[in-house]
Amino acid sequence: MGRRTLRTKLCDILDIEYPILSAGMGPSLVGETTGAPVELVVAVSEAGGLGVLGAAGFTVDELREQIREIKKSTDKPFGVDLLLPSQIVSAGDQEPKGPSEIPLSEVIKSLPKTHYDWIMKIKDEMNLPDIEAKIKTGSTTSRPHASIKVCIEEGVPLFCAGLGNPGFMVKDAHAAGMKVLGISGNTKNARRIAQGGADLVVAQGHEGGGHTGRIGSIALWPQAVDATAPTPLLAAGGIGDGRGLAAALAVGCVGVWVGTRFLATVEGGALPIQKETILQATDEDTRRSYLYTGKTSRAIYNQLHELWDHSGLEPLPFPTQVMFASAMAEMFNRAQEKDYMGPFSGQVSGLIDEIKPAAQVVEDMVEEAVDILTRRLPESVIAK
């Protein structure tokens, strides 16, 4: 069969063949690698979609290196995803002073005593190894303005704000020929992002992996389409194949932003053991919790959730809770305690039963969506 055609307005806006973006998935915790590395970005963009680098865990220098790596490997459009916490955006970048790395074991000593003591209690009781991870100072999240400058200087085609409203940088981005996308989990924020001047908005439903809100995808997408109009909306949360893509197009979305399905590809940044966990997971095996970041995020359910639930501790504000969870996760990872490990992952995990190359995911999604739209629906639905 020849190459399929599946085009929407998004393809014209981003100069791509298919309306499929792989989500920018940064590392979930300190010491982890990014879920959306250069290899995934290149594979998705080369396949006709648009790959987005999960750049939240990089330093500003690493960000520039990684963007240059992408440009060396493809001349197709791509994106970069950063987290833009509003308090840092308004206060200004936290310029790195002193060493470029700080031991996590030192950083957690500044957590509230209740939380630090609990980490140490579990470490003793379960005889867990020492915490050896290091925190990079000068990360993109602590230096949003410097990071945006790098994206502009490097001519990144699409800038994606995974957290916060990118409105403050739209003018500069447009002057440099860059498009801007913002992500939201409800209509109020989706409308704000559109009003801030973003070119594209993503509405991510409750079932999605990583940070996620309270509204289910099928309720959220049409409401967000109305709220952001005329700014085009992309659907996210629970899309794993061509059926999800066709459904998103049917409710008026111009394309899809897909995380978990691309995490579990050959090029996806999850560790082999994490990919295996996604393959084995059913639709019921994820959990949304404050445990990992202090904001609600969805991950594969594991025994660390249980420990946290019974700890009696309150979640700390983002990103302080990330330090707490990273310390816990690192001890269990180093002890190879598989039952206490689980990557950020969406409810769609239950649909994923094969680790495929990312290009195959794009191709299969397009093939199935085209089949639904041109054959299956006309054959199975009588509509006049």
Ligand X SMILES: Cc1cc2nc3c(=O)[nH]c(=O)nc-3n(C[C@H](O)[C@H](O)[C@H](O)COP(=O)(O)O)c2cc1C
Binding stretches for ligand X (CB under 6 A): 23-26, 28, 35, 54, 56, 81, 83, 162, 183, 204, 207-210, 236-239, 257-260, 263, 343-346, 348
Shortest Å, Cβ 155 to ligand X: 21
Closest to ligand X by CB, 259 or 315:
259
Rank residues 111 and 181 by Cβ distance to ligand X and give the closer one.
181
Peptide bond into 129 cis (omega under 30): no
Tell me the closest approach of the beta carbon of residue 125 to ligand X, in angstroms. 29
User: What's the first-to-final CA gap in the chain, in angstroms?
Assistant: 30
Cα–Cα nearest to 87, from 159, 153, 144: 144
**CA-based angle 210:215:216, to the nearest 5?**
85
| Residue 337: φ, ψ to 5° | -85, 85
Bridge-based pairing of strands 255-258 and 233-236 is parallel
CA-nearest of 82, 71, 108 to 23 is 82
Q: Which is nearer to ligand X, 140 or 231 (CB)?
A: 140
Please state the closest distance from residue 37 (CB atom) to ligand X, in A.
12
- Strands 50-54 and 20-22: what pairing? parallel
CB of 45 to ligand X, least distance (A): 16
Closest CA to 361 of 352, 372, 370: 352
Measured from each CB, the residue nearest to ligand X is 259
User: CB 142 → ligand X: shortest distance, Å?
Assistant: 14
CB 87 within 8 A of CB 141: no
CA–centroid distance for 229 within its chain: 24
Nearer to ligand X, 28 or 231 (CB): 28
The answer, yes or no, to whether the previous bond of 230 is cis (omega within 30 of 0) is yes
Provide the minimum distance between the beta carbon of 86 and ligand X in the complex, in angstroms, as a whole number. 15
Minimum Å gap between C-beta 319 and ligand X is: 12
Residue (16 or 264) nearer to ligand X, CB: 264
Between residues 128 and 253, which has the closer beta carbon with respect to ligand X? 253
| Closest to ligand X by CB, 106 or 283 | 283
Pinpoint the alpha helices (H) of 154-283: 170-175, 187-195, 217-228, 242-250, 260-263, 272-280
